[in-house]
Amino acid sequence: MKLRLGAVVLTAALTPLTAVGTPSPARAGVDITPPEVGSCHAYTMAEGAGRSDRTPVVDCADPHTAITVEVVEFDQAPDWDDPDALDRALRTQCYPAYFEALGGNIKTIQRSAHILYVFIPTKAQREAGAAWLRCDATLQGGTRLMNLPDNLVLGSLPLPDRVAKCRTGKRFDYAYTVCARPHQFRAAVSIRYPHDSYPGKRAAVRFALRKCRARAEAPFFYEAVFSRAAWTLGYRHAVCLWTNSD
């Protein structure tokens, strides 16, 4: 897994958290209070792509594109310029809270268009001593973030189009989207890996490609478990997406 602020993508390996330096004294007029779990936000995909979120908190009764599922508070500020320094917190606190918010079934979560966004304090807040990490659940709709449903808990498969994972066409670079929006490929099949431990990236990809190709009757995508970190988190299924599943 590799931390990418704000969206988080499971691609590389997690590394231990390292804490360096000491916080500066809080500056007058700079609010370094950690965010609240359960707070709602209405940022766009472009706004969410930054390291920090500067948009205001909104009432959860109003339309919102994100909800904070976890806030990690550090005893000592980590090295904010080293993404690897935050990965342990991501693995041990953010992802478990994210899974719980969505109902706890990782197989089902893999078939949804939800994605985790992570933010650090603003530069002014960091310089004033803020030492926290904010983790938000969002729902991807191709080139935009969708408004979240009132209830995040996912039901059984197949998921309804408003939260199910699809992929757009070439024009939009095959971005992930909820299936309620225009799409070309739908996540249709989950195939559990038979291995007792992580088989390695190469073997995991070969398994996913072979199994999806055997079932596909049209052009398809496959999703493999690309890292030991993702496996440790509980990702145990290859997912097949194809065009003839609507």
Q: Which residue has the tokens 């493999």?
A: 224
pLDDT tens over the chain, length 246 residues: 334 444 544 332 222 222 223 334 445 578 999 999 999 999 999 999 999 999 999 999 999 999 999 999 999 999 998 888 899 899 999 999 999 999 999 999 999 999 999 999 999 999 999 999 999 999 999 999 999 999 999 999 999 999 999 999 988 899 999 999 999 999 999 999 999 999 999 999 999 999 999 999 889 999 999 999 999 999 999 999 999 555
Residues whose CB falls within 8 Å of the CB of residue 240, separated by 6 or more in sequence, listed in order: 187, 188, 189, 190, 191, 208, 211, 212, 215, 216, 220, 221, 222, 223
pLDDT at 2: 35
> Tokens representing 120?
């650090």
Q: Do residues 131 and 77 touch, judged by C-beta distance below 8 A? A: yes
List CB contacts of 43: < 8 A, sequence separation 6 or more.
Answer: 53, 55, 65, 66, 145
CA distances from 48 to 53, 88, 127, 135, 138 (A): 7, 22, 21, 11, 10
Nearest to 98 by CA among 108, 87, 109: 109
SS3 of 81-124: CCHHHHHHHHHHHHHHHHHHHCCCCHHHHHCECEEEEEECCCHH
Question: Would you state the pLDDT for residue 14?
Answer: 27
pLDDT at 82: 85
Q: Identify the pLDDT of residue 17.
A: 27
**DSSP single-letter state for residue 201:** H
pLDDT value for 218: 87
CA distances from 242 to 72, 106, 180, 215 (A): 38, 21, 16, 10
